Structure 1
Amino acid sequence: MSPRSLSVNQPKEKSLSLSDQVAIELREDIIGGRLLPGMPLTESELVNAYNASRNTVREALHQLGREGLTSYVRNKGVMVRRMGIDDVRDIFNVRRTLELQAIAASKPLREYQSDLMLEAIEAAQLAQDRENWQAFGTHSLRFHQHIVGLLRSPLFDEFFTQVAAQMRLVFSSAPSEENFQKPWLERDRQIHDLLAEGNKKAAEEAMSSYLNDSETVLLDILASTPKP
């Protein structure tokens, strides 16, 4: 790892410790698909990467552990966590609660909200055109973060970032991320369009179907994937 600068877009009134900032950067690396399940998170490398003390790095790793993103493996140390079937069921339980509620409680879509969703969709389209399925998965998650953003709750936004990171680790379980990711772009677009038209009921039904289908596919993948 080469040294990194910590530039986190956070509200000015919220003062972040260095360990918080390291945790944010590591979480974003997971959402971005740069840190994959089973990868070691070596303290000495992170100390050099972030110009931080061992205690700071250790606190950041403990935080990610509490978020379900890392695990300690005896004789190996801290590693990016592998997600299992029970994790997937729990994640989708949370996603249904937040995303369906966000749509049901949403007001008419504002221009900036629509723009954020469309930017994520267009970025996913570009990633698909380039056959960059890792990036595609990241942009798809961004779209769903913007759905939760309709709740206009910083606490839910922060919590769903952790959920999105866990979801990204689940994506990595697919033997072919291309085959898994391909079906979802048009469905994201449909959900946006229904929201833009003010048809919340149809958007909620489309999202419910989306989440049910996505969960089923991922559970089937995990059930058929040999454990490492």
Structure 2
Amino acid sequence: MTLGLSLADQIALELRADIIGGRLLPGMPLIEAELVNSYNASRNTIREALHRLGQEGLTRYVRNKGVMVRRLERAEVRDLFVVRRTLELQAIAQSGPLTDAQSGRMQSAIEATTLAREREDWRAVATHSLVFHQQIVALMHSPLFDEFFAQVIAQLRLVFCAAPDEQRFQSPWLERDREIYGLLADHNKPAASEAMSLYLDDSEHLSLALFDHP
């Protein structure tokens, strides 16, 4: 168990990671008895973990069905992109030249996205691209923002899962992530900010379009 975290916290983090990784999809039930066995935890601990996920906007309780992974609404998606613009553009604006460690983490995310695309594993493409954007926010050196943005990323993952054609939905972003990384590596903040702003505009447009075709 991670130092300083309760078992319930650790279980919540692992379930969130399963959402970000595309292993838990919108509408999937989180069955208490199965989680008790999987994590060798008490029912109270599992309930506490599920309650935390509910507070993060990732699960909901459905009468007579129990706890399920959430499907987000259009207004919530708009709000997620308000948050993304605020955090990602601010991170670029206040960033200094990339350190070797920062550059390495961004490159690793891009390389993982590239390999996933070569395998045509579009779910993994989405996951690794989101990891790249987590590294953008990490430029602010704020553990609080990092934790908050991880919750935002998990909610976005639930939106992306709704795409009927994952290949079409995920194909455009790798080259644009590479472009943003290259501009940051050159410390061209104005161009990186402009590229990110256009990226987020287009991503929001495509995400909201998912609600037009139920």
In the superposition, the TM-score normalised over structure 2's length comes to: 0.98
Question: 38, 57, 78: which is aligned to 2:27?
Answer: 38
1:84 aligned partner: 73
Question: 18, 26, 45: which is aligned to 1:56?
Answer: 45
2:91 aligned partner: 102
Counterpart contact for 1:47–1:57, Cα < 8 Å: yes
1:170 aligned partner: 159
CA–CA distance in 1 between the matches of 2:117 and 2:211?
Answer: 24
Q: Alpha-carbon deviations, 1:126-150, whole Å to 9, x = none? A: 0000000111111000000000000
SS of residue in 2 equivalent to 1:78: strand
Aligned residues: 214
Q: CA RMSD in A?
A: 0.8
Question: Counterparts in 2 of 1:1-228, with a 5 A limit?
Answer: 8=2, 12=3, 15-225=4-214
Deviation of 1:36 after TM superposition, in Å, equals 0.2
Deviation of 1:222 after TM superposition, in Å, equals 1.4
Consecutive unaligned residues of structure 2, counting only runs of 5 or more, are: none
Counterpart contact for 1:85–1:223, Cα < 8 Å: no
CA–CA distance in 2 between the matches of 1:44 and 1:221?
Answer: 34
In the superposition, the TM-score normalised over structure 1's length comes to: 0.92
SS of residue in 2 equivalent to 1:166: helix
Counterpart contact for 1:31–1:165, Cα < 8 Å: yes
Deviation of 1:43 after TM superposition, in Å, equals 0.5
**Displaced runs of 4+ in structure 1, greater than 3 A?**
none
1:183 is aligned with what amino acid? P
CA–CA distance in 2 between the matches of 1:105 and 1:162?
Answer: 22
SS of residue in 1 equivalent to 2:60: strand
CA–CA distance in 1 between the matches of 2:210 and 2:153?
Answer: 19
Deviation of 1:111 after TM superposition, in Å, equals 1.1
- Identity over aligned pairs, percent: 67
1:3 aligned partner: none
Consecutive unaligned residues of structure 1, counting only runs of 5 or more, are: 1-5
1:206 is aligned with what amino acid? A
SS of residue in 2 equivalent to 1:71: strand
